[in-house]
């Protein structure tokens, strides 16, 4: 299956990932979304699938969320960062908690499409 989201679509709405890093980020985001949807349902998705545009936006949101989380250190066991008077604290401290939070967000983004079962 080719990429669901291409650079033109992503860059027209979002801007956190540079073009040079986009393909890798998009692939990782699709894998996370596929984990939630399930491989069998994922394999049957086409451009005619109900909720396809919502799926594209979901993948873009996952790209941005994963990029933010990587830059901030979330999921790396960091509970707070202090840098010259600037302090940030996180609730999410483990990779498992971060993945669970991301999967919950994906379910919310795709709610009502039928792509994630009864959500």
Q: Is the pLDDT of residue 74 over 60?
A: no
Check residue 119 and give its pLDDT: 47
pLDDT on residue 72: 65
Domain residue ranges in the chain? 7-109
**Arithmetic mean of pLDDT, 78-85:** 67
Structure-model confidence comparison of residues 72 and 4, the more confident one: 4
Give, in order, the Cα–Cα distances in Å from 48 to each of 34, 45, 51, 52, 91: 18, 8, 9, 7, 39
pTM of the model: 0.79
Mean pLDDT of the chain, nearest integer: 85
Ordered DSSP codes for 10-32: HHHH--SS-HHHHHHHHHHHHHH
């Amino acid at each position: 299956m080719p990429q669901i989201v291409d650079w033109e679509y992503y860059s027209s709405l979002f801007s956190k990932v540079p073009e040079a890093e986009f393909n890798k980020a998009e692939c990782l985001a699709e894998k996370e979304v596929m984990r939630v949807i399930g491989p069998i349902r994922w394999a049957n998705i086409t451009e005619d699938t109900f909720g396809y545009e919502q799926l594209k936006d979901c993948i873009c949101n996952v790209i941005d969320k994963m990029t933010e989380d990587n830059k901030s250190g979330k999921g790396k066991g960091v509970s707070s960062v202090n840098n010259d008077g600037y302090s940030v604290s996180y609730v999410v401290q483990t990779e498992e908690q971060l993945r669970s939070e991301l999967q919950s967000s994906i379910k919310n983004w795709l709610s009502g499409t039928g792509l994630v079962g009864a959500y």
